[in-house]
Amino acid sequence: MKKLLQCMFIILCVEHAYCQSKSVPAHSIIGSVYRRIDEVVAFKGYQEQEGSMLNPTSDNYGISRIAKLGYNILVFERIIPDGIKVRFKLLDTLHIGRLTQRRAVIPVLCDLNKKNDSEIVALVIMDDNEYFTKVIKAWRANKRTNRFERISTKGISCLNDGYGAED
């Protein structure tokens, strides 16, 4: 009887702990507002590598690539004008990982079926052509859902902004 009570007690404790862990929401960085990305606790030590506005004349959305020790993350953000200073609201993140020498992430400069689509971000294999056409993966920075969404790579090409530049 004593063993049975001990087993029941252990089961109840484990079940209670499991239910408690499920009811406490995980800390989310989505919705964080910041001036510099390293102000977000999860991104301490990360540095911004590049950033682009999706459409600088008509909206306040941007994509930044941040990195720490070679590990890359894309950040989808909304620009919040705040007087002279600018702040950002984190909408979504996309973990890219490490990039090899021949791979690059191209935000904003991509076309879909030869028509510019600034919401597309692509992971490409770099070459010496005016447009990168070897697209490994692609995503849309969807301004309606405020999320990165995986899309087909079919018909996507991205401008090689270094094309024609001499070494």
Q: What's the farthest any 2 CA atoms get from each other in the chain?
A: 84
Helix (H, G, I), strand (E, B) or coil at 44: coil
User: Block means of pLDDT (10 residues each) for the chain, length 167 residues?
Assistant: 43 36 50 94 94 88 96 96 89 95 94 96 95 97 97 97 75
- The pLDDT score that the predictor gives to residue 14 is 35
Task: Say which residues have a Cβ less than 8 Å from residue 118's Cβ, sequence separation at least 6.
Answer: 54, 55, 108, 110
Q: Which residue has the tokens 């909206």?
A: 59
Measured from the Cβ of residue 71, the count of other Cβ atoms closer than 10 Å reads 13
105: nearest Cα among 25, 51, 149, 45: 51
* Cα angle, residue 60 at apex, residues 43 and 115 outer, rounded to 5°: 105
> 103-107 and 120-125: which strand pairing?
antiparallel
pLDDT for the residue numbered 16: 36
For position 9, what pLDDT does the model report? 38
Give the pLDDT of residue 120.
97
**CB neighbours of 124 closer than 8 A, spacing ≥ 6?**
103, 104, 105, 106, 132, 134, 135, 136, 158
